[in-house]
C-alpha cells in the first residue's frame, strides 16, 4: 500500500508566491463591510484591483506570512479575494490543480497528484 501525499491549500503557500491575484474592486473592505484591506491592493485597470506583491518579478502576496513550503498562513484569510477562495477548492479531498504543481515547482517543492476530470 503506497501512501499518498496530501497537502492542504493552507500549508505550502506556493500559489501565494507564484501568481498574480486580480479581483473586482467590490471585494475591497469599506466602512463596516469586511474585505481585502485597501492598503494591501493596488489599482490594476478599470474596476480591477491586484493584491500587492503578486505582480513583482519575484511574486509574493503581501498577505502571506511565513516561509513557503514550511509553514505559512494568510493574514487576511477570512477576507481573501475570490481568486484565492476559488484556487484549490478541492485540495482538501486530495484533488489538486496543475497550476498548484507549477507554483510548487517554482519553489522546489514536489508535485502533488493531479486528478483528471
| Gap between the Cα atoms of 9 and 27, Å rounded | 21
pLDDT at res. 113: 73
The CB density around residue 75, as the number of other CB atoms within 10 Å, is 14
Burial 24-37 (b: 16+ CB within 10 A, else e): ebebbbeeeeebbe
Along the 117 residues of the chain, how does pLDDT read in single tens digits? 344 555 566 779 999 999 999 999 999 999 999 999 999 999 999 999 999 999 998 899 999 999 999 999 999 999 999 999 988 777 767 667 788 889 999 999 998 876 643
Confidence at residue 79, expressed as pLDDT on a 0 to 100 scale: 97
What the block records as the C-alpha cell of 114 is 493531479
pLDDT at 83: 93
Identify the pLDDT of residue 97: 79
* pLDDT given at position 51: 98
| Predicted pLDDT at 7 | 59
Burial class (CB in 10 A: 0-12, 13-18, 19+), 23: buried
What three-state secondary structure class fits 75?
A: coil
Q: Are 42 and 53 in contact (CB under 8 A)?
A: no
Say how far apart CA 39 and CA 57 lie, in whole Å.
Answer: 20
Amino acid at each position: 500500500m503506497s501512501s499518498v501525499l496530501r497537502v492542504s491549500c493552507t500549508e505550502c503557500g506556493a500559489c501565494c508566491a507564484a501568481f498574480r491575484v486580480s479581483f473586482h474592486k467590490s471585494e475591497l473592505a469599506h466602512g463596516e463591510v469586511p474585505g481585502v484591506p485597501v492598503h494591501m491592493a493596488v489599482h490594476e485597470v478599470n474596476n480591477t484591483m491586484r493584491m500587492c506583491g503578486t505582480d513583482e518579478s519575484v511574486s509574493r502576496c503581501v498577505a502571506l506570512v511565513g516561509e513557503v513550503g514550511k509553514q505559512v498562513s494568510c493574514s487576511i484569510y477570512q477576507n481573501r479575494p475570490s481568486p484565492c477562495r476559488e484556487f484549490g477548492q478541492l485540495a482538501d479531498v486530495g484533488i489538486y490543480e496543475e497550476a498548484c504543481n507549477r507554483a510548487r515547482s517554482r519553489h522546489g517543492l514536489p508535485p502533488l497528484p493531479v486528478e483528471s476530470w
